[in-house]
Amino acid sequence: DSGVTQTPKHLITATGQRVTLRCSPRSGDLSVYWYQQSLDQGLQFLIQYYNGEERAKGNILERFSAQQFPDLHSELNLSSLELGDSALYFCASSPTWGSGGKNEQFFGPGTRLTVL
Amino acid sequence: GQSLEQPSEVTAVEGAIVQINCTYQTSGFYGLSWYQQHDGGAPTFLSYNALDGLEETGRFSSFLSRSDSYGYLLLQELQMKDSASYFCAVRDNNAGNMLTFGGGTRLMVKP
Protein backbone atom coordinates (compact mmCIF):
# COMPACT_ATOMS: atom_id res chain seq x y z
CA ASP A 1 0.00 0.00 0.00
CA SER A 2 1.61 3.24 -1.22
CA GLY A 3 -0.54 5.52 0.94
CA VAL A 4 -2.09 7.16 -2.14
CA THR A 5 -5.83 6.64 -2.45
CA GLN A 6 -7.97 6.97 -5.56
CA THR A 7 -11.71 6.85 -6.03
CA PRO A 8 -13.63 5.37 -7.65
CA LYS A 9 -11.88 2.09 -8.43
CA HIS A 10 -14.01 1.49 -11.51
CA LEU A 11 -16.12 3.83 -13.58
CA ILE A 12 -18.35 2.94 -16.52
CA THR A 13 -19.95 5.74 -18.48
CA ALA A 14 -21.17 6.67 -21.94
CA THR A 15 -19.62 8.76 -24.69
CA GLY A 16 -20.17 12.46 -24.29
CA GLN A 17 -20.39 12.28 -20.51
CA ARG A 18 -18.21 13.96 -17.88
CA VAL A 19 -16.53 12.24 -14.93
CA THR A 20 -14.37 13.27 -12.00
CA LEU A 21 -11.58 11.14 -10.60
CA ARG A 22 -10.30 11.83 -7.12
CA CYS A 23 -6.89 11.34 -5.56
CA SER A 24 -5.54 11.81 -2.04
CA PRO A 25 -1.74 11.89 -1.84
CA ARG A 26 0.41 10.34 0.87
CA SER A 27 0.44 12.30 4.08
CA GLY A 28 2.96 15.11 3.74
CA ASP A 29 3.40 14.87 -0.04
CA LEU A 30 2.92 18.18 -1.81
CA SER A 31 3.15 17.01 -5.42
CA VAL A 32 0.42 15.14 -7.25
CA TYR A 33 0.76 13.66 -10.74
CA TRP A 34 -1.81 12.18 -13.08
CA TYR A 35 -0.97 9.44 -15.60
CA GLN A 36 -3.06 7.64 -18.19
CA GLN A 37 -2.30 4.01 -19.05
CA SER A 38 -3.89 2.47 -22.11
CA LEU A 39 -2.93 -0.61 -24.10
CA ASP A 40 -1.83 1.27 -27.19
CA GLN A 41 -0.28 4.36 -25.57
CA GLY A 42 1.43 2.93 -22.51
CA LEU A 43 1.85 5.04 -19.37
CA GLN A 44 1.55 8.72 -20.25
CA PHE A 45 2.06 11.74 -18.02
CA LEU A 46 -0.86 14.14 -17.99
CA ILE A 47 -0.24 16.87 -15.43
CA GLN A 48 1.54 17.70 -12.16
CA TYR A 49 0.46 19.94 -9.30
CA TYR A 50 2.65 21.14 -6.48
CA ASN A 51 1.08 22.66 -3.39
CA GLY A 52 -1.97 23.76 -5.31
CA GLU A 53 -0.27 25.11 -8.41
CA GLU A 54 0.22 23.53 -11.80
CA ARG A 55 3.88 22.55 -12.15
CA ALA A 56 4.21 20.58 -15.38
CA LYS A 57 1.93 19.59 -18.20
CA GLY A 58 2.13 16.65 -20.55
CA ASN A 59 -0.02 15.75 -23.53
CA ILE A 60 -3.23 16.42 -21.67
CA LEU A 61 -6.27 16.93 -23.89
CA GLU A 62 -8.21 20.19 -23.68
CA ARG A 63 -11.24 18.13 -22.64
CA PHE A 64 -9.33 17.13 -19.51
CA SER A 65 -8.61 19.41 -16.57
CA ALA A 66 -7.30 18.99 -13.06
CA GLN A 67 -6.86 20.87 -9.86
CA GLN A 68 -5.28 20.46 -6.45
CA PHE A 69 -7.19 21.70 -3.44
CA PRO A 70 -5.87 23.35 -0.22
CA ASP A 71 -6.02 19.99 1.58
CA LEU A 72 -3.75 18.70 -1.26
CA HIS A 73 -6.21 16.21 -2.70
CA SER A 74 -6.57 16.41 -6.46
CA GLU A 75 -9.32 15.85 -8.98
CA LEU A 76 -9.04 15.01 -12.66
CA ASN A 77 -12.04 16.04 -14.74
CA LEU A 78 -12.67 14.32 -18.06
CA SER A 79 -15.41 15.72 -20.27
CA SER A 80 -17.00 14.96 -23.65
CA LEU A 81 -15.74 11.44 -23.19
CA GLU A 82 -14.80 9.35 -26.19
CA LEU A 83 -14.28 5.62 -26.57
CA GLY A 84 -10.54 6.20 -26.75
CA ASP A 85 -10.50 7.69 -23.25
CA SER A 86 -11.06 4.24 -21.80
CA ALA A 87 -7.93 3.57 -19.76
CA LEU A 88 -6.47 3.16 -16.33
CA TYR A 89 -5.85 6.54 -14.70
CA PHE A 90 -3.18 6.67 -12.03
CA CYS A 91 -2.46 9.34 -9.52
CA ALA A 92 0.99 9.51 -7.92
CA SER A 93 2.50 11.71 -5.25
CA SER A 94 5.93 12.75 -4.04
CA PRO A 95 7.20 14.95 -1.23
CA THR A 96 8.60 17.73 -3.41
CA TRP A 97 8.26 18.96 -6.97
CA GLY A 98 11.21 16.92 -8.08
CA SER A 99 14.67 18.19 -7.39
CA GLY A 100 17.16 15.94 -5.62
CA GLY A 101 16.70 12.60 -3.94
CA LYS A 102 15.54 9.39 -5.57
CA ASN A 103 12.89 11.11 -7.66
CA GLU A 104 10.47 8.48 -6.36
CA GLN A 105 6.79 8.74 -7.10
CA PHE A 106 4.22 6.74 -5.14
CA PHE A 107 1.33 5.50 -7.27
CA GLY A 108 -2.24 4.95 -6.20
CA PRO A 109 -4.24 1.85 -7.20
CA GLY A 110 -5.76 3.60 -10.21
CA THR A 111 -9.24 4.22 -11.56
CA ARG A 112 -10.31 2.04 -14.46
CA LEU A 113 -12.50 4.10 -16.78
CA THR A 114 -14.62 2.37 -19.39
CA VAL A 115 -16.42 4.53 -21.92
CA LEU A 116 -19.21 2.73 -23.80
CA GLY B 1 10.63 14.81 -28.37
CA GLN B 2 11.39 12.05 -25.94
CA SER B 3 11.53 8.34 -26.65
CA LEU B 4 12.56 5.29 -24.68
CA GLU B 5 13.14 1.85 -26.13
CA GLN B 6 13.02 -1.36 -24.17
CA PRO B 7 12.28 -4.96 -25.19
CA SER B 8 8.62 -5.85 -25.07
CA GLU B 9 9.06 -9.30 -23.52
CA VAL B 10 11.70 -11.31 -21.72
CA THR B 11 11.45 -14.86 -20.41
CA ALA B 12 13.77 -16.42 -17.84
CA VAL B 13 13.80 -19.31 -15.39
CA GLU B 14 13.60 -19.17 -11.64
CA GLY B 15 16.99 -18.54 -10.03
CA ALA B 16 18.49 -17.04 -13.17
CA ILE B 17 19.71 -13.50 -13.89
CA VAL B 18 18.00 -11.25 -16.41
CA GLN B 19 18.95 -7.85 -17.80
CA ILE B 20 16.38 -5.42 -19.19
CA ASN B 21 17.88 -2.71 -21.38
CA CYS B 22 16.61 0.78 -21.96
CA THR B 23 17.84 3.37 -24.44
CA TYR B 24 16.51 6.88 -24.44
CA GLN B 25 16.44 10.07 -26.46
CA THR B 26 15.47 13.21 -24.60
CA SER B 27 15.97 16.93 -24.95
CA GLY B 28 17.12 17.14 -21.33
CA PHE B 29 18.10 14.49 -18.81
CA TYR B 30 17.81 14.49 -15.05
CA GLY B 31 17.74 10.80 -14.25
CA LEU B 32 16.56 7.32 -15.20
CA SER B 33 14.08 5.45 -13.03
CA TRP B 34 12.76 1.89 -13.04
CA TYR B 35 9.28 0.86 -11.96
CA GLN B 36 7.68 -2.55 -11.55
CA GLN B 37 4.01 -3.18 -12.29
CA HIS B 38 2.16 -6.42 -11.66
CA ASP B 39 -0.95 -7.13 -13.73
CA GLY B 40 -3.80 -4.96 -12.51
CA GLY B 41 -1.57 -3.20 -10.02
CA ALA B 42 0.08 0.16 -9.61
CA PRO B 43 3.64 0.93 -10.70
CA THR B 44 6.08 0.74 -7.80
CA PHE B 45 9.47 2.40 -7.69
CA LEU B 46 12.54 0.16 -7.94
CA SER B 47 15.56 2.38 -8.53
CA TYR B 48 16.91 5.68 -9.81
CA ASN B 49 20.18 6.66 -11.46
CA ALA B 50 21.16 10.28 -11.93
CA LEU B 51 24.88 9.61 -12.40
CA ASP B 52 26.80 7.00 -14.37
CA GLY B 53 27.37 3.70 -12.68
CA LEU B 54 25.65 0.89 -10.85
CA GLU B 55 23.11 1.20 -8.06
CA GLU B 56 22.37 -1.95 -6.09
CA THR B 57 19.27 -2.63 -4.03
CA GLY B 58 19.06 -6.21 -2.86
CA ARG B 59 18.46 -8.55 -5.80
CA PHE B 60 17.92 -5.62 -8.17
CA SER B 61 20.62 -3.40 -9.65
CA SER B 62 20.36 -0.55 -12.14
CA PHE B 63 23.04 0.87 -14.38
CA LEU B 64 23.32 4.14 -16.28
CA SER B 65 25.63 5.42 -18.98
CA ARG B 66 24.69 8.99 -19.81
CA SER B 67 27.19 9.20 -22.68
CA ASP B 68 25.46 6.23 -24.34
CA SER B 69 21.92 7.28 -23.31
CA TYR B 70 21.55 3.75 -22.01
CA GLY B 71 20.63 1.99 -18.85
CA TYR B 72 19.63 -1.44 -17.67
CA LEU B 73 17.89 -3.16 -14.81
CA LEU B 74 19.49 -6.37 -13.57
CA LEU B 75 17.39 -8.85 -11.65
CA GLN B 76 19.26 -11.64 -9.87
CA GLU B 77 18.05 -14.87 -8.26
CA LEU B 78 14.77 -14.58 -10.10
CA GLN B 79 11.64 -15.59 -8.26
CA MET B 80 8.18 -16.35 -9.62
CA LYS B 81 6.89 -13.17 -7.97
CA ASP B 82 9.22 -11.14 -10.22
CA SER B 83 6.90 -11.88 -13.16
CA ALA B 84 5.64 -8.40 -13.96
CA SER B 85 6.14 -5.50 -16.34
CA TYR B 86 9.18 -3.30 -15.87
CA PHE B 87 9.26 0.29 -17.08
CA CYS B 88 12.17 2.62 -17.49
CA ALA B 89 11.34 6.31 -17.20
CA VAL B 90 13.28 9.52 -17.65
CA ARG B 91 12.89 12.80 -15.93
CA ASP B 92 13.66 15.26 -18.68
CA ASN B 93 12.30 18.49 -17.34
CA ASN B 94 13.83 20.46 -14.50
CA ALA B 95 10.67 22.52 -14.13
CA GLY B 96 8.80 19.65 -12.61
CA ASN B 97 9.08 15.97 -11.99
CA MET B 98 7.19 14.53 -14.92
CA LEU B 99 8.27 11.09 -15.98
CA THR B 100 8.30 9.87 -19.57
CA PHE B 101 7.91 6.10 -19.57
CA GLY B 102 9.11 3.45 -21.97
CA GLY B 103 6.64 0.96 -23.33
CA GLY B 104 7.48 -1.60 -20.65
CA THR B 105 9.09 -5.03 -20.67
CA ARG B 106 6.95 -7.96 -19.67
CA LEU B 107 9.07 -10.44 -17.71
CA MET B 108 7.85 -13.98 -17.42
CA VAL B 109 9.66 -16.17 -14.89
CA LYS B 110 9.24 -19.90 -15.45
CA PRO B 111 9.87 -22.64 -12.92
What confidence tens digit (pLDDT) does each residue in A78-100 have? Answer: 999 999 999 999 999 998 765 55
Strand A111-115 relative to strand A10-13, pairing: parallel
- Gap between the Cα atoms of A3 and A108, Å rounded: 7
Exposed/middle/buried for residue B101 (C-beta within 10 Å: 0-12, 13-18, 19+): buried
Window 83-102 of A: residues touching B by CB (8 A cutoff) are 90, 92, 94, 96-99, 102
Per-residue pLDDT band for A41 (boundaries 50, 70, 90) equals confident
Are B81 and B108 in contact by the 8 Å Cβ rule? The answer is no
Averaged pLDDT for residues A39-45: 83
Asked if A3 reaches chain B (Cβ–Cβ under 8 Å), the answer is no
Phi–psi pair at B80, nearest 5 degrees: -55, -35
Is the predicted pLDDT of residue A1 greater than 90, yes or no? no
Write out pLDDT tens, residues A48-85.
999 999 988 988 999 999 999 999 999 999 999 999 99
Within 8 A of A104 by CB-CB distance, chain B residues are 33, 45, 48
Within 8 A of A94 by CB-CB distance, chain B residues are 97
Nearest CA distance, A98 vs chain B (angstrom): 5
Within 8 A of B102 by CB-CB distance, chain A residues are 42
Per-residue pLDDT band for B98 (boundaries 50, 70, 90) equals confident
Give CA separation, B81 vs B32, B67, B75, in Å: 24, 34, 12
Is the predicted pLDDT of residue B28 greater than 90, yes or no? no
DSSP 8-state assignment for residue B50: S
